[in-house]
Amino acid sequence: YYQVPGEILGTGDYYIIQATGDSMIDAGIEDGDYIVIREQSTAEDGQIVVARVGSETTLKKLYHDAVHNKIILHPENIRYKDQIYDNIEIQGIAVRVIKEL
């Protein structure tokens, strides 16, 4: 474990995941990057979230479709389509990306 000053991340509980794949490359998140996640169960439209869908976990941009009462997980890569769900579990939001130089 490494202690990170509150001035960098703010208050809350955090964990780090490693990105796999290329679905978020247009958001600057590449395969192998480490993503700092603030644990929370809600998110605003446009935030990048860690979402659990069934038995899988994914990192995508979140949008709500109030007209159709759906949740949209949007990959930031034009090669992939939006994923549309009735229900997901938000496990946190991305706050920082750590990359190799």
DSSP character at residue 65: E
For residue 27, the model assigns a pLDDT of: 97
Instruction: List the catalytic residue out of 41, 60, 61, 99.
Output: 60
Euclidean distance between the first and the last CA atom of the chain, given in angstroms as a whole number: 22
DSSP character at residue 100: -
In the residue annotation, 70 being an active-site residue is answered as no
Task: Tell me which residue has tokens 């990105």.
Answer: 19
For residue 8, the model assigns a pLDDT of: 78
pLDDT in tens, the chain (101 residues): 566 677 778 888 899 999 999 999 999 999 999 999 999 999 999 999 999 999 999 999 999 999 999 999 999 999 999 999 999 999 999 999 999 88
In the residue annotation, 23 being an active-site residue is answered as yes
Bridge-based pairing state of the strands 89-98 and 48-53: antiparallel
For residue 11, the model assigns a pLDDT of: 82
Gyration radius from the chain CA atoms: 14
